[in-house]
Amino acid sequence: MKIYLIFAVIASLLLLGCYNAPIGGDGASVITTSKNFTMKESWKESFMLVEGGSTVAHTVLVSNVELHAANLKIDSQTLLMKVGEARPIKLGGSTVVVTLNSIEDEYARFSISLPPQTQQNNSSQQGGNNSQGQQNQTLNENGDICVSDSDCKSSHCNNGYCCAYGQCCISNSNCSVGNCNTTTYSCYTFSLLSKGAPCTSNSNCQSNHCSNGYCCNSGKCCLSSSNCASGEICNTTNSSCVQSIPVYNASDAERKANSTTDGLLMITFSSLFDSARQCSTASSAFKQCIPRVSVRDEQASVSTYNVIYSNNFNGTSCCPTVDVLVVTVDLSTNSATHHWIDTTFTQQLANTMQSNLNSNCATAVQYMACKIS
C-alpha cells in the first residue's frame, strides 16, 4: 500500500509541474556544434561543454514564456530574449550563442551553439592535428559569430558578430538604435526627411507624418497640385493639400450669360443688326441708326456679376444708348437669372426682322433704325 502511495505522490508532482528533474545529469549531451531545446516554463535541462580538454556541465532553465519572448537562465545568467534574437554569452572558458528561434504552444524553441572557431578547435582536439590547414585559424566573414577582433577578417568584433565598423548585427533585434544592414551587417540610422520629401512611413519624416507618399506636418501631403484631389491645390510652403480658392472674373460671367436663352437671343439681334448695315440699297442716314449690341459687366459680389446688354447708336440724330437686358450670373453656383428692360425684344420680333431683310432690306432698315429726327 505504501509503494502505491509513493508512486501516486510522485505522479501528482510530475503532473503539477512541481518536480522538474534535470534531464541529462552525468549523461547530458556534449555540445560540439549546436543543440536545439524545446522546453516549457519551469523546465530545466543539462548540457556539457568542452573546456580546457575536459567536459563541464551546465544547466538551462526556462523561467518564463511569453507570446514573443522568453526568460532563460543558463547557470547563473538570466537572459530575457525576443523571438529571432541571437546572443553570445560566456560560460566558464567557453563562448556560446543562444538563439530564441520560436515560441509555439507555450514551448520555447531555442538553440545553444558554439562559434565556428570553437567548433574547429574542438574538432582538432578530438581528431588531432593531421594537417597544417587544421592548425591555421580561419577568420570569420562579416555577419559570422565572434568573440574578439582577432576572429574577424575585418578585425572588428562587436555585439558578438563580425562587421567592418560600428555596432554589428544579423537582424534588427541586435541594434540598439536603427536597423540592421544585412549586406554590411552593421546597424545604421538614416536622416529623417523634410517636408515634401517622398516617404513610405511616418518614421521616415521629421514631422512623423507621411501621407500620400510625402512628408508634411498634417493632412494630405503633396509636392505639387497634381498630388491633390480635384478642388484642391498644393500649399508648397507646408507641402499639404488645401481647398482651392476659386477665382471669379467678368469674362467667365459673360460667357455664362451668352450661353443662356436670353443671351443667345441678344446675339441673334446683334447679327440681324450687322446684316441690316450691309444692305447696299438702304439709306446711310438710316443705317447709321441701326443699333449695335454692346455688353458690359458689373460685379455685384465676389462671385456674382450683372451682364448688361445695350443698344448703342453712332449717329448724332439717332436714339440714345439704352439698356435692353440684364443677366445676373452667380459663378459660385453656375446659375443665371434674367431681367428684360425692353420687353419688345422677343424671338418673334427677331423672326420678323429676318423675314423683312430677306424680302426687302432697304425697307427693313428703315423699320429697324431708331432716329430722333
pLDDT at 310 exceeding the cut of 50: yes
The pLDDT tens digits of the residues spanning 17-26 come to 333 333 333 4
* CB < 8 Å & 24+ apart, contacts of 299-306: 299/250, 300/328, 302/248, 302/332, 303/246, 303/248, 303/330, 303/331, 303/332, 303/333, 304/328, 304/329, 304/330, 304/331, 304/332, 305/248, 305/250, 305/253, 305/254, 305/329, 305/331
* Cα 273 from Cα 290, distance rounded (Å): 6
The pLDDT tens digits of the residues spanning 342-360 come to 999 999 999 999 999 999 9
Highest mean pLDDT pick, 103-117, 152-166, 196-210, 292-306: 292-306
pLDDT at 11 exceeding the cut of 60: no
pLDDT at 159 exceeding the cut of 70: yes
Cβ atoms 153, 140 nearer than 8 A: yes
**Beta sheet of 69-74, edge-to-edge order:** 44-51, 54-65, 69-74, 77-82
In the chain, helix, strand, coil percent, each to 5? 25, 35, 40
pLDDT value for 96: 85
Q: How confident is the model at residue 86 (pLDDT cuts 50, 70, 90)?
A: confident
Single pTM value for the model: 0.41
Other CB atoms closer than 10 Å to residue 171's CB: what's the count? 14
Direct distance between the N- and C-terminal alpha carbons of the chain, in angstroms, rounded to an integer: 147
In this prediction, what percent of the chain has a pLDDT beyond 70?
86
Q: What angle separates helix 261-277 from helix 361-368, to the nearest 10 degrees? A: 120
Residue 108: its H or E element: strand 107-113
pLDDT value for 184: 83
The least confident of 43-52, 73-82, 183-192, 357-366 is 183-192
The pLDDT tens digits of the residues spanning 219-267 come to 999 999 999 998 889 998 999 999 888 889 999 999 999 999 999 999 9
In this prediction, what percent of the chain has a pLDDT beyond 90?
44
